Amino acid sequence: MMFSIIEHIEYLMTCHDCVVIPGWGAFIANYDKAGFDEERSVLERPQRTIGFNASVNHNDGLLAQSLVRCEGVSYDEAMRFIADSVTSFRQQLAMRSEVSMGRLGYFRSNDGNLIEFVPFFRDNATDQYYGLADFGIHTVESLELAAREADAQEETPAAVVPQERNLFSRRATRIAASAAALIGLGILLSTPIIVDRNHDQAGMTLEVTAPQSQQLGMTVQQGVVPQEIAVVDAHQGIAATGNTTGKYYMVIATLRNQQELDAFKTANAALVPYMKILDYKGMMCVYVARSDDYSHLMGLRSELPERLRDVWIYN
Is 217 part of any domain?
no
Is 214 part of any domain?
no
Range of the domain at 3: 1-136+178-206
pLDDT of residue 176: 65
pTM for the model stands at 0.42
Residues 46 and 192 in one domain: yes
Q: What is the pLDDT of residues 120-134, one digit of tens each?
A: 765 444 545 555 666
Residue 49, SS3 per DSSP: strand
Q: What is the pLDDT of residues 273-296, one digit of tens each?
A: 999 998 877 788 899 999 988 888
Is 211 part of any domain?
no
Reported confidence tier of residue 21, pLDDT bands at 50, 70, 90: very high
Residues 7 and 122 in one domain: yes
Residues 129 and 145 in one domain: no
Residues 151 and 197 in one domain: no
Q: What is the pLDDT of residues 134-182, one digit of tens each?
A: 667 777 777 788 888 888 887 655 554 444 445 455 666 666 666 666 6
Residues 1 and 70 in one domain: yes
Beta-carbon contacts of residue 59 (< 8 Å; ≥ 6 apart):
20, 22, 79
Residues 78 and 125 in one domain: yes
Reported confidence tier of residue 232, pLDDT bands at 50, 70, 90: very low
Inter-residue contact 116 to 110 (CB < 8 Å): yes
Q: What percent of the chain has pLDDT over 70?
A: 69
Is 58 part of any domain?
yes
CA distance 152 to 160: 15
Residues 11 and 130 in one domain: yes
Q: Is the pLDDT of residue 228 over 60?
A: no
Is 165 part of any domain?
yes
* Domains: count for the chain: 3
Residues 109 and 243 in one domain: no
Residues 80 and 59 in one domain: yes
Is 216 part of any domain?
no
Is 212 part of any domain?
no
Residues 111 and 171 in one domain: no
Q: Alpha helix (H) ranges present in the chain?
A: 5-12, 62-71, 75-94, 140-154, 160-190, 236-241, 258-267, 294-299
Reported confidence tier of residue 19, pLDDT bands at 50, 70, 90: very high
CA distance 115 to 105: 13
